[in-house]
Chain A
Amino acid sequence: MFPLTLSKLSVRRRGKTVLGPIDLVIDQGGPTMVIGPNGSGKTTLLRVMHGIERISEGTAEWAEPDHANHAYVFQSPVVLRRTVAENLSYPLRVIKRAKPEINSAVEYWIEQIGLGKVANRSATRLSGGERQKLAIARALIRNPEVLFLDEPCSNLDGQSTREIETLLLETAKAGTRIIMSTHDMGQARRLAADIIFMKSGHIAEKGLAPDVFSTPQTPELQAFLKGDILE
């Protein structure tokens, strides 16, 4: 299915360009961390790649046209007003998988995220960390080839962040291509194989994580890594 090629891609909202023009090729590998200050276009870039954002100009094309096996985890986890187990089974029911297959997948993932004891409780009663873990497991239950995550650990405590990072590293090891936005530089250093640095709707710099962190090329990234406020 790779590479994903973005060519001269722009997104405009109410006459204002919020992303682009961007040229970018995403290939196998990763995890890729999209970093940058608030409002730099990280979320819009991920949404464009996943295909849930309307493109104003340019193209986003996968090598193979059938690229439905993506999953996306939103910054504020959306949980269905159903039980935890039903939230997990939902993506498989949508693609009409057989009941025994659904049951065993739900059983597996519910244990993976440690929510076995609350399987039959309403997901709306979960804590923020539990909701995010549920959202990630729900995204992974279809064994996606690509997993997009939009700042999945913002607003979470240290323990939940660690659990989610462990889950993501295992997922990447199992072969899922992870593309994730974060403004937590510690997290980017822990997880990233390569980095895309966004600034004002453009890709200001990109490269392998060790190179980007040790020798940032642009003054913006140097300032960002120092912790300066970028406007």
Chain B
Amino acid sequence: MNDITQGLLAALRLIVAFDAELWEISLRSLQVSLTAVIIASVVAMPFGAFLAVQRFKYRRLVISIMNALMGLPPVVVGLIFYILLSRSGPFGAFGLLFTPWAMIIVQIVIITPIIASISHQAMRELWAEYHDLLISLNTSKWQRIKTLIWDGRRNLLTAGLAGFGRAIGEVGAIMIVGGNIEHATRVLTTAIALETGKGDFALALGLGFVLIGLALFVNISIHWLSRTEREGRW
């Protein structure tokens, strides 16, 4: 209990004092995770809608694989991408290892199946509702996908936020490919792991509370900006 109180106080001290390092790693956490969520959403959301609308031979298999990939172990993803991005690996020439872009890439790989699977579930329900109408109106396949994405935007937002939650709290993979380098690739989760290792639980907890606050702030801001809970158009 004492540790938690000290952690809260440490978090308050860091925030009130405008601690430069805290701001730096918080902003980097946001930058990495939001970039990963945006890129993953651009791929995963239309893919989820496509799977809802289109019937093809191995559709069930694709859905099963996509759902199974939701449980990808981040450490293994990190390890694979470490090998791929390391100097002797096939993508070593790009020099991405131990950069924020390596962290973004592994986060994309981890959260794309999550966003795609939740999107697919939402789009499938909406498609069941819209199916007859959209067929009756002679819409093209692309028009159907666009309609589902637009009208299901509220549920897709939830899918995006689920991906963001997973990304911002991820530590194993980004530790491996990012390296937790001060002023370069250190983010909140890797800083928490470092401070815990050093035995500074109060600071680790303080960073943890900042991380929770940041995740809540982004969630609430996105809901507020997109007016999901307001009367009217939604």
A residues near B (Cβ < 8 Å) are 50, 52, 68, 70-72, 74, 78, 80-83, 90-91, 94-95, 120-122
Task: Please tell me if the beta carbons of B232 and A94 are within 8 angstroms of each other in the complex.
Answer: no
CB neighbours of B233 from chain A (8 A): 82-83, 120-122
Task: Please tell me if the beta carbons of B151 and A82 are within 8 angstroms of each other in the complex.
Answer: yes
Which of B129, B130, B234 contacts A122, CB < 8 Å? B234
- The answer to whether the Cβ of B1 comes within 8 Å of any Cβ in the partner chain is no
B154: nearest chain-A partner, CB-CB: A81
B residues near A (Cβ < 8 Å) are 126, 129-130, 132-133, 135-139, 143, 147, 150-152, 232-234
Task: Please tell me if the beta carbons of A52 and B151 are within 8 angstroms of each other in the complex.
Answer: no
Task: Please tell me if the beta carbons of B232 and A121 are within 8 angstroms of each other in the complex.
Answer: yes
B234 → chain A, closest Cβ, in Å?
Answer: 6
Which of B129, B132, B150, B232 contacts A52, CB < 8 Å? B132
Task: Please tell me if the beta carbons of A78 and B135 are within 8 angstroms of each other in the complex.
Answer: no
Task: Please tell me if the beta carbons of B138 and A122 are within 8 angstroms of each other in the complex.
Answer: no
Task: Please tell me if the beta carbons of A80 and B151 are within 8 angstroms of each other in the complex.
Answer: yes
Known: A94-B138, A120-B233. Is A81-B133 also a contact (CB below 8 A)?
A: no
A50: nearest chain-B partner, CB-CB: B136
A33 → chain B, closest Cβ, in Å?
Answer: 20
Task: Please tell me if the beta carbons of B135 and A52 are within 8 angstroms of each other in the complex.
Answer: yes
A228 → chain B, closest Cβ, in Å?
Answer: 32
Task: Please tell me if the beta carbons of A94 and B139 are within 8 angstroms of each other in the complex.
Answer: yes
CB neighbours of A83 from chain B (8 A): 233
Known: A83-B233, A122-B232. Is A78-B137 also a contact (CB below 8 A)?
A: no
Known: A78-B129, A82-B151, A122-B233. Is A94-B143 also a contact (CB below 8 A)?
A: yes
A82: nearest chain-B partner, CB-CB: B151
Task: Please tell me if the beta carbons of B136 and A52 are within 8 angstroms of each other in the complex.
Answer: yes
Task: Please tell me if the beta carbons of B137 and A91 are within 8 angstroms of each other in the complex.
Answer: yes
CB neighbours of B151 from chain A (8 A): 80-82
Known: A50-B136, A122-B234. 8 other contacts (CB 8 A): A74-B132, A74-B133, A78-B133, A80-B147, A82-B233, A91-B137, A95-B138, A122-B233
Which of A71, A81, A95 contacts B136, CB < 8 Å? A71
Known: A50-B136, A91-B137, A94-B137. Is A120-B130 also a contact (CB below 8 A)?
A: no
CB neighbours of A91 from chain B (8 A): 137
Task: Please tell me if the beta carbons of A78 and B130 are within 8 angstroms of each other in the complex.
Answer: yes
B140: nearest chain-A partner, CB-CB: A94
A86: nearest chain-B partner, CB-CB: B233
The complex places the Cα of A32 from the Cα of B17 at a distance, in Å, of 78
CB neighbours of B232 from chain A (8 A): 120-122
A93: nearest chain-B partner, CB-CB: B143
Which residue, B132, B143, B151, B152, has most C-beta atoms of chain A within 10 A? B132
A150 → chain B, closest Cβ, in Å?
Answer: 10
CB neighbours of A90 from chain B (8 A): 137, 147
A54 → chain B, closest Cβ, in Å?
Answer: 11
B128 → chain A, closest Cβ, in Å?
Answer: 11
B147: nearest chain-A partner, CB-CB: A80
B156 → chain A, closest Cβ, in Å?
Answer: 12
The complex places the Cα of A122 from the Cα of B230 at a distance, in Å, of 11
The complex places the Cα of A83 from the Cα of B231 at a distance, in Å, of 12
A148: nearest chain-B partner, CB-CB: B136
